[in-house]
Structure 1
């Protein structure tokens, strides 16, 4: 080989080496961002489809739309209340190369294990709707859950007042004891009810939590409550599913419509119960706003950009302030059911069926 050819070959090798090294150094980005040339991917684990229909009918729908609009890959799965499945899904998502993991924990212990594993693998994390106590999520996106509870307590007080109830016995059907949100809801509604108990304006009746927000168990629990205290005059039920279980018991005892029952989630069933006069109120949480906020954060993180929270929440177990986006809930009574339809959260065609058609017309849903 001539000296000239040898020199040219040496230069070419050096250039190829330099280019390869440069490409290698840019193949990953900091802050859990997607690798250069690799399409960003977000994993989402929903908790179940039994405690509330919102997870499949609303959250999945809105998150899917947001990720599609942003052009990022996504994998949304539902653990269906199974803690082992929750962990298995997380492992699969991390192995598949997600850049961001959004989780709705089933309990803080399982949630923390998943978050810590994701963090160790350089995957960015977001707690969605439920804060994982002692966890390591970088962000938390939810509604102001203490305010949700306050709206429930105030709503029950309004409905009892409208009925002219005197010293009513109030039963509390709380959410799952392993869900931090249930604790926040209870803190909110008890801030309204406890002073009334203390003053003697209300009498404190049976008070029990429902494991895993299970509606079937809620029915059994409330049946026992009603048997022990048949003079129950108001029910603080923590969501629409629990409310419907209580209403079924009241209906069997010919007391539905006479005992105000609260709820949450503005489900079709809950809204129909309100239209029928069997449920006092619900709390509407505009899930699209929650899903859009979580998706926006996830998309930023997936592209290596640090997201922004609008506030912080305190994790008492981890003793840390978690950057958060907290949205505002709204109380819904019979005369404002149409607001949920107008907002597009519930379709008139789904809500105003059969006997509910006339009830919808009566409250201005045309």
Structure 2
């Protein structure tokens, strides 16, 4: 039989248990709510709430073999972000030609709480998984220079890439005609990487001109990873197979692959090099143009491209959604809001008025002792 005192103790104990249980329930709900909000905001503030004036912005570039990424894109983009948002920081990574590595780099950035990803994909199809994971964390993705095959992109910033190929093809055909090379003569084509959506557009633009020119494409090659060494090896094989004298022109999709072909031709003992195209206005490419080894390059003004990307990234970090100039369709047919800049063909005639005038290089950087005479002949001071 329970006494009155015992009953009071039981009642008091039950009351205390109820209070503790209620407190635990409140704490549990608060914890779950906090977790839910963290996931919704991107696990550390990515793309959602937080101080936009101190935002982390991720910059992912595709490879180390293309000179422009280290010499132009990275420093220009970083400087623009710092200029427009002094408290913001850029988290940078280069995939070194590895799609899996780029995915891991993106995941690391998302874990660090970046608010925006600016992504130049090594593989435009594989990078769609990065966009998907970023979307899950409410982090917008800007496809930079190369288009990612994803309907979930926020924006795309690049150049009119088919026009790039048209400029290359037009310059090559004009050079052949100026040399009185007979129609029916042979061209080899060294295209860009098969995993790069832009490369297919360069190739399409070039074929549009070359196929209607009367000149014959003897062979063509899609260069894995834009690797100059692979372009050189392939070209060396074609020189052995076709004979150097049969190759009267070379379409090379960029300066680095063009440099590989030129090296193969020189190794084969070719003294009078055929016209060779390029792209990216690399310093080595510009100097080869001055020396007569390369005929032309395509200058894509990296500064306005990087500036546009930095400005857009900052606006996205602030929660803004600015209007775009146009739309571009992905390989899957999705329309992406886009900004497209105009490329420019560069030969000896306009080096001074393009890459030097724009400050991409100084005259002293271009006109080293080896190229001083050629610079003087072309009015570069």
**TM-score bracket for this pair, using the shorter chain length:** 0.7 to 0.9
Name the residue aligned to 2:113: 97
Alpha carbons 1:111, 1:135 under 8 Å: kept: no
Equivalent residue in structure 1 for 2:336, among 311, 322, 332: 322
Name the residue aligned to 2:197: 180
How far apart are the structure 2 equivalents of 1:145 and 1:66? Answer: 24
Q: Deviations over 1:44-69 (max 9, x none)?
A: 1011121x110011001110111111
Name the residue aligned to 1:332: 346
Name the residue aligned to 1:222: 235
Displacement of 1:38 after TM fit? 6.9
Displacement of 1:136 after TM fit? 2.2
Alpha carbons 1:103, 1:127 under 8 Å: kept: yes
Name the residue aligned to 1:17: none
Alpha carbons 1:172, 1:208 under 8 Å: kept: yes
Q: Which runs of 5+ in 2 are unaligned?
A: 1-33
Name the residue aligned to 2:3: none
Alpha carbons 1:285, 1:329 under 8 Å: kept: yes
Compare 232-241 and 300-309 and name the one that shifted more: 300-309
Does residue 160 (structure 1) correspond to residue 173 (structure 2)? The answer is no
Q: How does 1:33-182 map to 2 (within 5 A)?
A: 33-36=48-51, 39-50=54-65, 52-70=66-84, 71=86, 72-167=88-183, 168-182=185-199
Q: Deviations over 1:95-136 (max 9, x none)?
A: 111110011111123211111000111001100000012352
How far apart are the structure 2 equivalents of 1:134 and 1:314? Answer: 10
Assess, with a 3 A threshold, how the Cα gap between structure 1 residues 36 and 268 changes in structure 2: closer, same or farther.
Answer: closer
Assess, with a 3 A threshold, how the Cα gap between structure 1 residues 222 and 46 changes in structure 2: closer, same or farther.
Answer: same
Alpha carbons 2:315, 2:322 under 8 Å: kept: yes
Displacement of 1:33 after TM fit? 4.3
Equivalent residue in structure 2 for 1:192, among 209, 234, 246: 209
Alpha carbons 2:235, 2:264 under 8 Å: kept: yes
Equivalent residue in structure 2 for 1:292, among 274, 299, 307: 307
Displacement of 1:140 after TM fit? 0.3
Assess, with a 3 A threshold, how the Cα gap between structure 1 residues 149 and 34 changes in structure 2: closer, same or farther.
Answer: farther
Alpha carbons 2:124, 2:146 under 8 Å: kept: no
Alpha carbons 1:148, 1:283 under 8 Å: kept: yes
Name the residue aligned to 1:270: 285
How far apart are the structure 1 equivalents of 2:89 and 2:124? Answer: 27
Name the residue aligned to 1:6: none
How far apart are the structure 2 equivalents of 1:60 and 1:164? Answer: 42
TM-score, with normalisation over the residues of structure 1?
0.88
Displacement of 1:251 after TM fit? 1.5
Compare 232-241 and 88-97 and name the one that shifted more: 88-97
Q: How does 1:295-310 map to 2 (within 5 A)?
A: 295-310=310-325
Name the residue aligned to 2:13: none
Name the residue aligned to 2:25: none
Larger-Rg structure: 2
Alpha carbons 1:31, 1:306 under 8 Å: kept: no
Assess, with a 3 A threshold, how the Cα gap between structure 1 residues 148 and 320 changes in structure 2: closer, same or farther.
Answer: same
Aligned pairs, number: 336
Q: Supply the RMSD in Å over aligned alpha carbons.
A: 2.0
TM-score, with normalisation over the residues of structure 2?
0.84
Q: How does 1:207-246 map to 2 (within 5 A)?
A: 207-230=220-243, 231-246=246-261
How far apart are the structure 1 equivalents of 2:126 and 2:300? Answer: 26
Task: Please state whether the residue corresponding to 2:359 is helix, strand or coil.
Answer: coil
Alpha carbons 1:152, 1:236 under 8 Å: kept: yes
How far apart are the structure 1 equivalents of 2:327 and 2:337? Answer: 4
Assess, with a 3 A threshold, how the Cα gap between structure 1 residues 117 and 360 changes in structure 2: closer, same or farther.
Answer: same
Q: Which runs of 5+ in 1 are unaligned?
A: 1-23
Displacement of 1:280 after TM fit? 0.9
Displacement of 1:258 after TM fit? 3.4
